[in-house]
Every structure is written in C-alpha cells, then in structure tokens.
Amino acid sequence: MKPPYLFNIQLKHPPRSQMSGDWAGLDKGTGYEFWGLRKYLPGDSWSRIDWKARARSGELYVREFLKDSAYNLLLICDVSPSMHFGRKFGMLQDLVISLAYAALHSNNPCGLLLFADRVLTWHPPSAAPQQFSRIVTALEQAPVMKSRQTRLAPALNFMMNRLSSCLGVIISDFHTDLENLRGLMDAADSRLPAHELVALHVLEESEYRLTGIEDGLLTLRDMESGHQMPLDLSRKEEFNALLRAAREKNIRTLAGAGIDSAVLPVGAADIQARVNTLFARRLAARV
C-alpha cells in the first residue's frame, strides 16, 4: 500500500535506554553521529562550519551527521465519536498509514493504541514484516464507540506503563479535558524524557472557523455528550473567536506538558509539509 504522505520522522532527544546500541540511522540528517564534511553551500548554518578544516584547506566546509534513528513509534489514535465528524477519520487513517510506513520502512518498531474514553485496541510496537498490515487492519476494524467523552489520560497512562520509552504521536481532535496532563507528563521538564510525544490536531474547518454560513438559528448537538445548544449565527465572529481561543488554549496546555502540536485541517494541501515541519522544528529546538 502506497502511503498518502511521506513523513520524515525525527527524534528530538536520543533514546534513554542504555541498551539501545547503535541508534544512528542510515541516512544523513540531523543527529549526533558525525558523518563527514562537504563544501559550504549558501544557506548552510554557520554553526555547522568546521573551522579546523577551513584552517587546513582555506575553504569553507560544513559538518554532516547521521540521522538519528532507532525509535519506538507509537501511534495513539482517538476513535471517539467526535473523530467521525466530516472527513476526519479518513484523514486519521491516512496519517496512521503514512507514519507507520515511514517508521517500518526505516526498520523501526511501530505500534498502535486506539482510545476513546479508555484504551480500546493495543498493538505493541514491533518491526515485524506483518506489523504494517496489522495496523491497517486494526484501524479499519476500529470499533465505533458510543462513549460520552474522550479521555486522553488513561491512554497515556497505559502507554507509560507498557513502554519504557517511545516516540508517541497522538492523532486526535483534542476535544477533551487536558488539564490533568501536566501532572501526568512530569518528565516534560526533564532534559531527556523517556516518552517523546507529538500531537497532530485533526480538524474539520467548521471546528476552528465558521465561514460561508448565513445568519439564523441553529441547534447543535454534541456528538459525544448529546447535549444540545441553540446557537445564534448572527454572533458568528464571537463563535469563531471562542473556537480559536479554545484551540490556542489546547496547544498551550499540550506545550506545557511537553507535547508539541501541529494543526492539520482536513483537506489541506500541505499536510505532509506541516508534519515534517513539526519534526524539523522540534529538532531545531533540541537542547
């Protein structure tokens, strides 16, 4: 199966496991292991210039490194009813397939955890050849839950109990209470956290902005709790501001727990670039 996106998964921190062995990858990239020198090209960072080589040869050379590898990728997917709004679940499937493909293709173990208000499906990380089809099948057979809410904390607890370290990618719309994450992710302040987490916010356009809709009265029903609320669309701007504020608050809360976020609107043309930029940005912010 050809993945819809080609992701370049990069770790922010080296693995904490003492027994991880050679964790350098096969490709050149941003890492800790020196690979070689090459001539300076316009646009290269000056911090990479090897001044000793400059002194020896009189020309500018930059250092190249091996890309960090050897990670356990765990895809933590939200399959609550709210994720079935619009085309969000299809987008989630595309992301999972592409990320799993990227990890397994570079010989890294990949696992899957499906959750709603609790953990529903668990496939531990594995680099076995059939792991990709296992993940795809599990996603296709994901149970349609009728849960009344989405709870992320039990899923993260489960992950921490099962895996000593991993790179976790949370794919969700994050319509959940995130206040209890700070206590859970106390390792965020650590220089070398065992569990690196990344959040991909999969959202339909109407979840962060209402446009192209005329004034009127609308009754909304929460897809999870079933609560109803009439909405006056003449106050659309306030509604949009509220959604934006809630989204920013979520991102800040996640960042406070050490989880970097990328917002991925369904149907956006630059999904691949957004995810790769997230990984690159994290790497650039490496301590």
Partner 1 sequence: MPEFELQYPLVLMLLLPAPLFLVLRRRTRHKLPFPAMMPEMRRLRPGFWKRYYNGIFFSLVYLCLIVSLANPGYSKETVEDFIESKWLFLALDLSGSMKRPISRFSDQTLGDLALDGIRSFIDMRRSEDYIGLVAFSSYAKLLAPLTFDKDLLKTKLELVRSKNHSRIYRELGAGGGTNASEAVWLSLSAFFSMLPEENRLSVEQIAGMREFLLGEPAALLDIPQKIRHAGLGTGMAVILFTDGRIEPTIRAHERRGGLPNLVNIITLMKAVGVRFYIISVGGEVDEAVQKAMEPKAGEPTVGRIFVTSRGLDRQQIEEVYREIDILETNRNLTRITLQPRWLRRPLLVFGFGLMILHLILRSLPRLRKL
List of residues contacting partner 1 (CB under 8 A)? 81-83, 85, 173, 175, 204, 206-207, 213-225, 227-235, 238-239, 242-243, 246
> Which one, 126 or 253, has the nearer CB to partner 1?
253
> Which one, 45 or 228, has the nearer CB to partner 1?
228
Taking the CA atoms of the chain, what radius of gyration do you get in angstroms? 21
> Which one, 8 or 253, has the nearer CB to partner 1?
253
> Which one, 122 or 208, has the nearer CB to partner 1?
208
Q: Which residues contact 255 (CB under 8 A, 6 or more apart)?
A: 261
Residue 250 CB, nearest approach to partner 1 (Å): 10
> Which one, 191 or 227, has the nearer CB to partner 1?
227
Q: Which two tokens mark 154? A: 């039990």
57 SS3 class: helix
Residue 140 CB, nearest approach to partner 1 (Å): 22
Q: What separation in angstroms does the CA of 47 have from each of 37, 51, 59, 61?
A: 13, 10, 15, 11
Residue 53 CB, nearest approach to partner 1 (Å): 55
Residue 126 CB, nearest approach to partner 1 (Å): 32
> Which one, 94 or 224, has the nearer CB to partner 1?
224
The span from the first CA to the last CA of the chain, in angstroms, equals 37
Residue 165 CB, nearest approach to partner 1 (Å): 32
What is the C-alpha to C-alpha distance for residues 163 and 109, in angstroms, rounded to an integer? Answer: 12
Residue with tokens 């301590």, as numbered in its chain: 287
Query: Are 10 and 28 contacting, i.e. CB atoms less than 8 angstroms apart?
Result: no
What is the C-alpha to C-alpha distance for residues 207 and 85, in angstroms, rounded to an integer? Answer: 10
Residue 126 exposed, middle or buried by CB count within 10 Å (0-12, 13-18, 19+): middle
Residue 234 CB, nearest approach to partner 1 (Å): 6
> Which one, 226 or 256, has the nearer CB to partner 1?
226
Residue 117 CB, nearest approach to partner 1 (Å): 14
| Closest-CA residue to 249 (of 197, 186, 195, 181) | 181
What is the C-alpha to C-alpha distance for residues 156 and 167, in angstroms, rounded to an integer? Answer: 12
What is the C-alpha to C-alpha distance for residues 100 and 131, in angstroms, rounded to an integer? Answer: 9
> Which one, 44 or 222, has the nearer CB to partner 1?
222
Residue 178 CB, nearest approach to partner 1 (Å): 13
Query: b/e for 82-107, b at 16 or more Cβ within 10 A?
Result: bbbbbebbebbbbbbbbbbbbbbebe
